[in-house]
Structure 1
C-alpha cells in the first residue's frame, strides 16, 4: 500500500523515529528506529547523501535553506542563508487570529470567547513543507521478516553465530526487497508526476514544467503505533524542485496524488518479485483479490499481529495463561498491560517503544502467535520456507487477456479513469509471479501494457486546439503539452460510452405509459379532500411523473424533502384501477442498491427488492423456460407493459446496473423512474449515471427540506448540499457540531455518546470515514459491552476484520447470500449491509442471528469467516436512508463532502477534528 499525505514539520520523523537505533537487531538500543537516508537526484545535486542529519533536515524541510550556501551548517547564520525558492506564505498563528477576533468583539461573553478560540484554531493555515510518501508492505511479508529476525536472535543468544548469520541473510533479503520496491515507486513517481505549475491555472495561461529531480529522505520503520510489527518506509519529499530554467518551485501535488495507485503497484510488485527471486518464497492472490500474500504464512497469524483491527477480549486470558506457564508466575502490572495491548484496541498514540528492546518485542509477538499458531514465530518461518517448492517459475500468461481483464475491472470501478488507474488494475490482473529476477523491469512492463490498453480506450477530454503543433518550449520533456495536467486525461471503454449514449437517448422517449392530465388532477384533488396536503414542489413532481409519458425520468430531492413520501404517493396513483379505465392493472416495483433503502420503499407500499437480486431474477426469467420454471416465485417479478420501476437512491447504483435495469424495463414497455440525489453518496463502482440522466432528460426536483423541525436547519441543510462551508458555523452555534480536537478524541467522544444512547434503549448510529475505522471502533465498543455484561465474551472469529462475535453482538453482512435461502431452514439469505443480532454461536463457527423484524437466519461458518463484521460503527454508505433516534458522526479532514452531507442530515451530533 502506498499512501501520500501533506507534511508540515519533520519533527515526528526526527524525534520519534531517527533517534539512532544503529544496533537495532541486537537490542542494544531500546528506542527509536534506524536513521533516515537521503534520496533523489535533487538531494545529490545539493550534496545531501548518506544518512540524514537532523539539523540538515530541519534546515531544508522547515526553512528551505540551500545546503550549498555558506553558513548552512551554522544555525546562528540561517537567517542569511539563501533558500531553495520561496519559503511560503507567512500565515497568522492561532493566537494572532484569536486576538483579531477579540478586537472585533471586545465584549464577547466567556462562551463566545470559547467559540472564537475554536474558530481561530480552524482557520490556521500552514505551508506544506513536504509530501510524505509511505510504502507499507503486506502483513505476511512483515510477519515473515519478524519470524526470520526471531530465529536470528534465538541463534545469537545460543551462541550459534553461523546459524544467526544465515537467518540474518534471510531477514536482510526481505529488507532489501522492500527497499527495492520503495525506491522503484519513488523513481516512478518522480518520472510520471514530477511537475510544477506556473502561470494562472484558473484560466488558460497556466502551464506545467518538468520537476523530476526530487529532494527526499527515507525512514525505515518496523512497528506500527500500537507496537505491532509493520514494515513500512516514510519518504518525505521536499515540496520544492528545480525546473529546467533553474528556478525552484513547489511540486504539483495533484499530479503526485493522481499517480499514487500506479506507483503503489510498482512498489508492491517489485518487492514481491525481488523477494521471490532471493528466497524462493511464493506469493498468491488473496481470496478477496486485494493483494498477494506470502504462501505459507497463515491468515490467522497475520490477524494476530493487527491489534488495531481485532477484539480479543476472549484471548487476553489465554495470553496471560501462556505467560504463567512459561515463567511460573503471574504477570505484574506492566507485563499484564503489555499483554492486554494485544487483546484490546487502545487509543491511537504517538509512536514509542516504551523502553521495549527488539528481543522483548519478538518475545511478545511469539507469545501472541502461540495461542493459535503452532510453534509461534518459528512455525511461521518454517511453513513459509517449506512452501517454496522447487522454486518459483514465471507463469505463462496472455498480454491480451490481462489487458481485457484490466479494462473490464477499471471500467467497473469508475465511469472515467486515468492511466494510473489502468496501470493499477493491470498489476492486479497479472499472474502472481512474473519471473523478473530483480524486479527492475516491473515499471517498464506495466507501462508497456498500459500503452497497449489505451489503444482500446476512448479519451473523454478532447485535446486543446493546436496542442499537437506547440513549439518545443511549450512541451514537456515527454512530448506532452505543457497545458495538459500530467496524468489527468480521462478515458473510458467504447462499451461504457455506448451504454451512456443509449441511456441519454432514452430520456427523449415520450411514448411510455401515462395518466391523462384530468386523471392526475382528480387524484390530487382526492388527496386534498382526505386531508393529505402535498407541497407545491411535491404536487408538481407527482403530476409530472404521472402524465409525462416519459419512458425514463428522474426525481431529485435533497435530504429531508420527502422523496419517499412522493414515491409512495405515485405508487398509489399508478396502481389505482379507478384512474386507468380500460388500461388494465398497473404495478410499481421498487429497487435500491442498499437494503436500508429497499426497506424504506417497502414501507411506502411498494413491492421492493435489492437491485442485485432483482437483476438476477430478471436474468432467470429471460432464460429458457425449463430453467426459469425452477424459480416459480420469480414469475411475480415478470415485467409487463404499463408497469413502473422505481430505483431509489439511484446515485448509488452504478452505470452498468442502471443500464441493465433500463434494458429490462424498456423491453417490457414499462416506465423507469430514478429517485435520489446526485449530491449524496455515489455508487461504489462506475457511477455518475443518475447525474448524467437527470441533466439530460425530464427532471423533477423537490426543494423544501421538510424533515427538520427547526427553520435554521432546513436552510442549513440546503446550503451544506451546495458546498457552502460557511454553514458549518451555524451547526456549531446550535450545538450540532462539536470540536473534539484530533480524530482520536472525536472518535472517543462519539463512541461514548453512542454507547449511552444504546444503553438507554435508543436506536443510534456511529458513523466514521472508513471501514477500517468502523472495525476498530466496533471492536472497542464490543469490549465495553462485554465488560458491562451485555454481550458474551466467547465468540467466533470474523475473518473480514479479525474481530470476534458472540451472543448478543450486533453484526453486519458484507455480501449478499441468496444461495443460503433454504439452508438450515432459512426463509431467505443474508443481504449486504443488513444488520443482525447474534442469538447463538455454534461450535463450527456458524452464527444464529435474527433480523430487526425478528426473522431467524443461520449464517454458515464459511460465510461468517469471510463476509460478516461487527456493526457497532459503520460508514455513511450503511446509513444512507436509515431512520434512527440518534446518530453520532466523526468528521475528519478526509471526510468527503457527500459523506458529510449524508451524516449531518441524520438526527444527532457530529464531532469534528
Structure 2
C-alpha cells in the first residue's frame, strides 16, 4: 500500500485521470480496452451506502463528475452547497489516493489466465481492497473529535469514509513499450463523516504512517481470498512479509519485470551522465531506445506479448489454469511457525515496539502462514496473553526471548565483573604503556592511562566508552599488550568484518587476532580457537552489537571463564537489529570514558562535535555555517550533484582513500552518487575503456573504487570482509583484480561473485562508523537524519566536513526556518533502548486488563524459571 495526498488545485484533473476521460491513453497503457480501443477505467464507490447517500452519492459506479464534486468539497450537482469547511487558505484538500498493488505473481496469474480466471482474481483483489479500506477507517485517526476535558479537538477515527476505487491491470506504460501486468487499485478517499455527523477532510499524515499496516492487511486478505478459491500460497521475501502464488517462479516474476528494469537502468545511466533524473520526454526517448520487441497496439496483441514472455519459462494459459485447484483445501494455519516469525520480526529492528508494530508484523506474517487477517490479529493478542509478548509499563511491548537475552547479558557480565580471576600486574601495564608510547612517539594522557587500569583490572568484564576521535585504539593496544605480557590470549571482535579489521589496524597487539562476532563464536565452538580462563575478548563498536549476538558471545565467554571488554559509544549509531545494551552495561560494569578529542586539531570543531553529540545541533550548525561548510540546494537531486562534484575535486587532490562521501538516506541514493562520480572520472579518461558488467546493470572499469557488501572467500584462504574497500587494477575477461586498501594484497573476483561488490566512492553513514579520513562530504537533512547520524558524519574527518542539504527536504519559507528544522532533526535521538530500561506491566495493577499474564513470576524474572516449557503454548488453536 502506498498513499499520496491530492492537492486541491489538481483534484479535478486527477479525477479525470483515474476515470480515463480527460486524456488519450498511451498505447499499451492503463486504459487499453479489451477490444483494443481506449476505454475509461471502471470505478465504484466503496463504503457505507447510507453514508454515501447522505453526501449525494448513489452507491455503485463512480462517475468522474461526482468524484470531482466530492474532491472539491461540495455536493454533486450542487456546486454552491459545500459539505465541509475550507482550510485556513480558503481551499479544500481534494483527498488522498491510497494504492493497493497485488504481488507480482498475482498479476502474472491474472495476465496469463482466461477471462473467467481474470474475473476471479479481480474479485479476490477487490474483496481485499474493501477489507483494507474498512480496516483503515476503523483503526486510523482520519479526523478529529471535540474533547470537552481538553477543550480542544483531538485525533479520532471516522464514522464513515467516502471513497471511490479504480482498478487498473497494467503498470504505467513508459514510451511505446509493452507494460508489465500489475493488478492494482487506486482508492481515492475524498472525505469522512465524523461521529457527530459532520463531513470533514481526511487527515493525510495518519494514512501515510499506516501504509505498512494497511498494506499488510491487504496482502493477508488477498492471500486468504485466493486460498479460498483454490490457489496455493507460499511465503516470499527474506523476512516473509510477502507471498507468492505457488507455481509461479521467481524467474517468471523477473521476466515480467524486465521492461521496468530496463527503463530503470536506462534512467540510472542518464542520471549518472547528466547529474539529474530524466524528465518525462527524455524518459520516453530512453524507453524507445531500450525497446526490442513489437509494440502491442491492442488488447489481443498485449495478451500475445505476455504469452510470449512466459513461453521460455514453460508457462502458458494451461499452466495458469492449473494454479487454481477447485476443491483444494485451504492451507491449514501453521500457528507455531507464525508465532515464532512474529516474535522474530517484531524485534528485528528494535527491542521495544508498540501495538501498531505488533499488529503489522502479525498481518505481514499471516499471508505465508495460512492465517486470515482476523486470525492473525487474534493471534497477536494470544501471544500477549500467554507471555510470549510482554507488556511494558509505558504501554510498549517486547518479546520474552529478547527480555531473557538482555537479562542474561546483564546478570552474566555483572557476575563476571565481580570475579577477580584475571591478574595483570602493574609492571606488565607499565611495560605495555611504554611500548605503545614508543610506537606512536608520544605520551599517553592521564585519562588514557586510567582507562587502561580500568579495563585490565582483575574483574572479568569492563566497558570502555570511546567517543569519536579520543584515541581508543592506543588504549586497547596497550591493554592487549599488557594482557599478552601476563601470558593471556587476546582477541578483537566486532559485528562487521571491516570494523574488526580497523581494530587490528589501530591496535597492533590485536593484528591477525580479529574476527567478526559470528566468526569468533563459530571458531570457538568448532575448536579452531581457544577460549578459556586466560582469554580476553575485546568487543569493538559494541554499541552496534545487536542483543542476539551479544547474548551468544556473552554466554560463550562466561561459560568458558574468559574476560570481556565492551568498547563503544552509545551516542553513535546503534545496532541494526534489537539492541541498546551498551549504555546500560556502561552503567552496570566498571567503566572508563575517554573525553579528550585528538582527531580534530581545531578547538572550535571539537566543540561542534561535542554539541552534536549532546543534542545541541544549532550551535554546531552555526559553526559550520560560519566556516562556509553548509551548502543548501533547492532539490535533493541538486544536493547530490553538488556533493558529487565536491567529493570528486577533493579526491583528485588528496586521494579517494582520504575522502569520505556519505549519505544517511537509501541505497538508491548511494547508487546515484557512485554512478555520478564514476561518470565524472570516465569523462576525464581516468578509468579504462574496457568494462565488465555488474549483475544490476552498471559496469566496472579498471581504476574504479569498489567495496564488498558481504564477506567473500578467496583462493588464498583469507576471506575479504564486508565493508573492505579497494581499487580495480585490471580486467581479465569475465573476472577482475582488486588491490585492497591498507596493504599490497590483490584478490581476484570471478563473474559469479561480482554481486558481492558495488562501487565504493560513496557509502551509507553506517559503514563509516570507526573510519578516519582527511575530509568528509555529507548529503543529509531528510527524515532519516538523527543525532547519531549527524555525530558520526561530522567526526570522521581530521580536516573538516561539509554538509549538502536540500531545501525541499525541509519545511519553511526561509533558509533560517529550514536550518532550524534541520537542527531539530540533528538533535533528535534515535538511539536503541533495551526493554530492561522499562519495567514490565504488572497485571495485578489493572484487574480488568484483558492481557492477564499466565506466567507472572517468569515475566518479572525470566531466569528464575528456566525449566518452563515455552513449547507448551506453541500449538495454539486460533479461533476461526
TM-score greater than 0.5 by the shorter chain: yes
1:301 is the counterpart of 2:255: yes
User: In structure 2, do the counterparts of structure 1 residues 426 and 757 end up closer, same or farther at CA, with 3 Å as the change threshold?
Assistant: same
Partners of 2:428 and 2:667 lie apart in 1 by 49
**1:739 Cα deviation (Å)?**
0.9
Please state how far the C-alpha of 1:882 moved relative to its aligned partner. 2.3
Shift of 1:891: 1.2
**Equivalent residue, structure 2, for 1:541:** 451
| Corresponding residue for residue 73 of structure 1 | 79
Distance in structure 2 (CA, Å) of the matches to 1:795 and 1:888: 28
Alignment equivalent of 1:601, drawn from 496, 499, 503 = 503
Matched, 1:747 2:747: no
Establish whether residue 614 from structure 1 lines up as the match of residue 520 from structure 2: yes
Give me the whole-angstrom Cα distance separating, in 2, the residues matched to 1:862 and 1:37.
50
What is the alpha-carbon distance in structure 2 between the residues aligned to residue 451 and residue 704 of structure 1?
Answer: 50
Residue of structure 2 equivalent to 1:835: 725
SS where residue 456 of structure 2 aligns? helix
**Other structure's SS at 1:715 match:** helix
1:497 aligns with 2:403: yes
Match runs of 1:418-433 below 5 Å: 418-426=354-362, 432=368
Instruction: State which of 658, 666, 669 in structure 2 corresponds to 1:770.
Output: 666
In the alignment, which of 630, 637, 640 is matched to residue 532 of structure 2?
640
Q: CA deviation at 1:880?
A: 1.6
Pick from 308, 313, 328: which aligns with 1:379?
Answer: 308
Please state how far the C-alpha of 1:269 moved relative to its aligned partner.
3.8
Q: Distance in 2 between matches of 1:306 and 1:689?
A: 43
Question: Is 2:621 aligned against 1:728?
Answer: yes
Question: Match for 2:352 among 401, 416, 421?
Answer: 416
Equivalents in 1 of 2:566, 2:210: separation in Å? 35
CA offset at residue 710 of structure 1? 2.6
The aligned residue for residue 324 of structure 2 is: 391
- Distance in 2, matches of 1:202 and 1:715, equals 46
Partner Cα separation in structure 2 for residue 739 and residue 292 of structure 1: 43
User: Once the 2 structures are TM-superposed, how far is the Cα of residue 412 of structure 1 from its aligned partner?
Assistant: 4.5
1:814 aligned residue: 709
1:242 alignment partner in structure 2:
194
Secondary structure of 1:888's aligned partner: strand
Name the CA distance, whole Å, in 1 between partners of 2:195 and 2:273: 50
Shift in alpha-carbon separation, 1:507–1:738, aligned structure 2, 3 A: same
Return the offset for 1:656.
0.9
Contact 2:737/2:748, CA 8 A, preserved across alignment? yes
Q: Deviations over 1:857-887 (max 9, x none)?
A: 444555445x444434321122222233443
1:268 counterpart residue number: 219
SS at structure 2 position matched to 1:305: helix
Q: Which residue of 1 is the match for residue 782 of structure 2? A: 893
Is 2:804 aligned against 1:911? yes
| Paired position in structure 1 for 2:493 | 591
Structure-2 separation of matches of 1:199 and 1:515:
69
How many Å separate the matches in 2 of 1:829 and 1:551?
Answer: 31
Residue number in structure 2 paired with 1:21: 20
Q: Distance in 2 between matches of 1:180 and 1:902?
A: 48
2:142–2:192 contact (8 Å) kept in structure 1? no
Deviation at 1:646, TM superposition (A): 1.4
Residue 552 of structure 1 corresponds to which residue in structure 2? 461
Match of 1:661 among 553, 556, 562: 553
Contact 1:199–1:206 (Cα < 8 Å) also in 2 = yes
1:298 is paired with a residue whose SS is helix
- Correspondence 1:400 to 2:330: no
8 Å contact from structure 1 (residues 198, 209) kept in 2: yes
* 1:9 CA drift (Å): 2.9
Paired with 2:574 and 2:625, the residues of 1 have a C-alpha distance of 27
Residue 233 of structure 1 and its aligned partner are, at CA, apart by 5.2
Partners of 1:224 and 1:859 lie apart in 2 by 38
| Aligned position for 1:444 | 374
Report SS of the residue matched to 1:640. Answer: coil
Asked if the contact 1:194/1:212 (under 8 Å) is kept, the reply is no
| 8 Å contact from structure 2 (residues 165, 185) kept in 1 | yes
Q: What do the CA deviations read for 1:75-104 (whole angstroms, capped 9, x no partner)?
A: xx9xxx6745x94699xxxxxxxxxxxxxx
Counterpart CA distance in 1 for 2:384 and 2:702 is: 52
TM-score by length of 1: 0.69
Q: Closer, same or farther in 2 for the Cα pair 1:691/1:854, shift >3 Å?
A: same
State the 1:308 CA deviation.
Answer: 8.6
Q: Secondary structure of 1:555's partner?
A: strand
- 1:873 maps to 762
Contact 1:33 1:220 in 2 (8 A): no
What CA distance in whole angstroms lies between the structure 2 residues aligned with 1:765 and 1:418?
Answer: 36
Structure 1, residues 630-671: CA drift from partner, whole Å, max 9, x if none? Answer: xxxx2xx31232432111111211101101111222223332
Q: Return the alpha-carbon distance in structure 1 between the equivalents of residues 68 and 466 of structure 2.
A: 53
Q: Which residue of 2 aligns with 1:532?
A: 442
Please give the alpha-carbon distance, in whole angstroms, between the structure 2 residues aligned to 1:814 and 1:429. Answer: 28
Residue 858 of structure 2 is matched in structure 1 by none
- CA shift, 1:743, in A, is 1.5
Unaligned runs of 5+ in 2: 297-303, 807-880
1:785–1:791: 8 Å Cα contact kept in structure 2? no
Q: What are the residue-to-residue correspondences of 1:125-140 with 2, within 5 Å?
A: 133-138=98-103
Asked whether the equivalents of residues 192 and 259 of structure 1 are also in contact (C-alpha less than 8 Å), the reply is: no
Q: Which moved more, 1:889-898 or 1:783-792?
A: 783-792
CA shift in 2, pair 1:694/1:16, >3 Å: farther
Partners of 2:384 and 2:390 within 8 A in 1: no
CA distance in 2, matches of 1:340, 1:521: 59
1:506-549: CA deviation from partner (whole Å, max 9, x where unpaired): 343322425467876787689789963444543443333233x4
Alpha-carbon separation, structure 2, partners of 1:531 and 1:840: 39
Asked if the contact 1:188/1:263 (under 8 Å) is kept, the reply is yes
CA separation of 1:32/1:194 partners in 2, compared to 1, >3 Å: closer, same or farther? farther
Partner Cα distance (1:500, 1:82) in 2: 55
Change (3 A) 1:344 1:177: farther
CA distance in 2: counterparts of 1:176 and 1:715, whole angstroms: 63
Q: CA deviation at 1:26?
A: 3.5
Judge conservation of contact 2:232–2:331 (CA < 8 Å) in 1: no
User: Which residues in structure 2 correspond to 1:28-43 (within 5 Å)?
Assistant: 40=47
* Structure 2 Cα separation of the partners of residues 403 and 180 of structure 1: 26
Task: Tell me, yes or no, if the aligned pair for 2:271 and 2:672 is still in contact at 8 Å.
Answer: no
Gaps of 5+ in 1: 91-125, 149-165, 313-337, 370-374, 435-440, 465-488, 578-583, 622-633
**1:561 paired residue number:** 470
Partner Cα distance (2:295, 2:723) in 1:
32
Write out aligned runs for 1:697-716 (5 A). 697-716=589-608
Query: What is the distance in 1 between the residues matched to 2:40 and 2:469?
Result: 52
Relative distance call for 1:776 and 1:525 in structure 2 (3 A) is closer
Separation in 1, partners of 2:392, 2:331: 39
CA distance in 1, matches of 2:503, 2:188: 50
Please give the residue correspondences for 1:163-562 in structure 2 after superposition, counting only pairs within 5 Å: 179-194=126-141, 209-211=156-158, 213-215=160-162, 223=171, 242-243=194-195, 253=205, 259-272=210-223, 285=236, 291-293=242-244, 295-296=248-249, 298=252, 300-301=254-255, 304-307=258-261, 311=265, 347-348=276-277, 364=291, 366=293, 377-382=306-311, 383=313, 384-385=315-316, 387-388=319-320, 389=322, 391=324, 393=328, 394-396=330-332, 398-426=334-362, 432=368, 434=370, 442-457=372-387, 461-462=391-392, 489-508=395-414, 509-512=417-420, 513=422, 515=424, 532-547=442-457, 549-562=458-471
Shift in Å at residue 608 of structure 1?
1.3
Q: Which residue of the partner structure matches residue 162 of structure 1? A: none
What residue number does 2:7 align with? 9
Are the structure 2 counterparts of residues 184 and 663 from structure 1 closer, same or farther at C-alpha, using a change threshold of 3 Å? same
Return the alpha-carbon distance in structure 2 between the equivalents of residues 660 and 309 of structure 1. 46
